[in-house]
Amino acid sequence: MAGVGGRASPGLKRWLSSQGLAPRVCVVGSGPAGFYTAQHILKHHDLARVDIYEKLPVPFGLVRFGVAPDHPEVKNVINTFTHTARSDRCAYYGNVAVGRDVTVGELRQAYHAVVLSYGAEDNRILGIPGENLSGVYSARAFVGWYNGLPENRDLKPDLSCETALILGHGNVALDVARILLSPVDLLRKTDITDSSLAALACSKVKRVWLVGRRGPLQVAFTIKELREMINLPGTRPILDPADFTGLGNAVKDAPRPRKRLTELMIKTALEKPGEKMVAAAPREWGLRFQRSPQEVLATADGMRARGIRMALTRLQGLGDSAKAVPTGEVEELECGLVLSSIGYRSLPLDPAVPFDSQHGVIPNSSGRVEGVPGLYCSGWVKRGPTGVIITTMNDSFDTAQSVLEDLQAGVLDVSASRDGFGTVGSILRSRGVRPVSFSDWEKIDAAEVTRGKAAGKPREKIVDPEEMLQLIGH
């Protein structure tokens, strides 16, 4: 189907047009996976029309709600996604919850292909006693709170303690630690929400421990995030040189990124801070290794977290596949705030879609959902909640390629015309659901930027969906 430079040749395009064979594709979810899937299909098929459905009124998923407010450069992909959404063969329908407002079965009737790209909307639980005490939060909810995710806007985390403990050694754990310890003046210039900025300005937290079950060679964060944490103004890192003894040989044979990361941790552990620097650093953070949470300990009244009991572990095996095994020894650490950053988790969307609840993914082969022709998935719901935006991009292109191949091979019958949003729009109207268009979103966007300007910020996010809908006259 593709001619020179990936475009369909004019003759073929006319033939396709005369047959009216324009494939209608539906993408569920408007985060990076959804937009990259749409982008690839539109780029490599000159007739395809793609409709993107999103349960929130606002698009961009984790780019808007997951990326730390002090990392604005990571959000630049929004420009690419906006370009895709403005294509005359692409439409955005926000405020539509697939599985509730319209079923996957109804979407499959209306489109030739349906791609599920709705991400990971939940977090993995610790599964330990005391997890539900006041003062214990998932990192996902905490990130959602400071980034303006509507469902987390009322979190009101208690920041009245001096010591916080984050379970997990990934980039999200470092993001949370950095936001907790950042000077408020640095955050004031970001798009962090107004209410979380006010709460952080009154925070008493001055010490953050990041605890992991495995060792320094298994941390999942990257060197850029670690360096940023080490250089955070007004804070000092506490790394125990004893944690890094005997790693010499293992580091020598490690891949370059792992090697550089470990060398930076060792260098930081061995540095002797000068007296002046310690005095000038009212806040501190540190890494604790080979500790697995056993129980969140409660205050005397049984209501709040006061600490955590951890099993000390030893490692079996080498490198990334090393397993943490309890040694039988335990240790207690005092803290009034516990944030669990052990991973996100996808949830089943609709009974009609197969779901592997053990791994939290839709069973698939190159994005083709097993046993359901014409149904596809991309992003975290396809492969699990790992990787950065570039990983999701490649993964989404892979799924989009499967859709294009199936169109070309005739696996998807385009001769049967499908009405796309024509059909879905009627269903939504009958259920009293009013979708939000991309130009509606652009009005919300403009209002946020205007409000931000008044406060010297790039934007002031609106966190209440009702307010968003009122703004656009819904």
pLDDT tens sequence across 32-50? 999 999 999 999 999 999 9
Mean pLDDT for the chain? 92
Token representation of residue 24: 């209608």
Q: 74: which DSSP letter?
A: G
pLDDT of residue 128 exceeding 60: yes
Tens of pLDDT, residue by residue over 56-114, are: 999 999 999 999 999 999 999 999 999 999 999 999 999 999 999 999 999 999 999 99
Ramachandran region, residue 165 (left: φ > 0; alpha: ψ -120 to 50; beta: rest): beta
Name all contacts of 98-103 with Cβ < 8 Å and 24+ positions apart.
98/28, 98/53, 98/55, 98/349, 98/350, 99/349, 99/350, 101/428, 101/431, 101/433, 102/53, 102/424, 102/427, 102/428, 102/431, 102/433, 103/350, 103/352
What's the mean pLDDT in 423-448? 98
Give me the domains of the chain, ranges plus CATH numbers. 4-11+22-121+346-436 (3.40.50.720), 124-343 (3.50.50.60)
Task: Give residue 273's pLDDT.
Answer: 66
End-to-end Cα distance, the chain: 42
The SS3 assignment for 353 reads coil
Q: How far is CA 5 from CA 45, 260, 320, 323, in A?
A: 12, 39, 40, 48
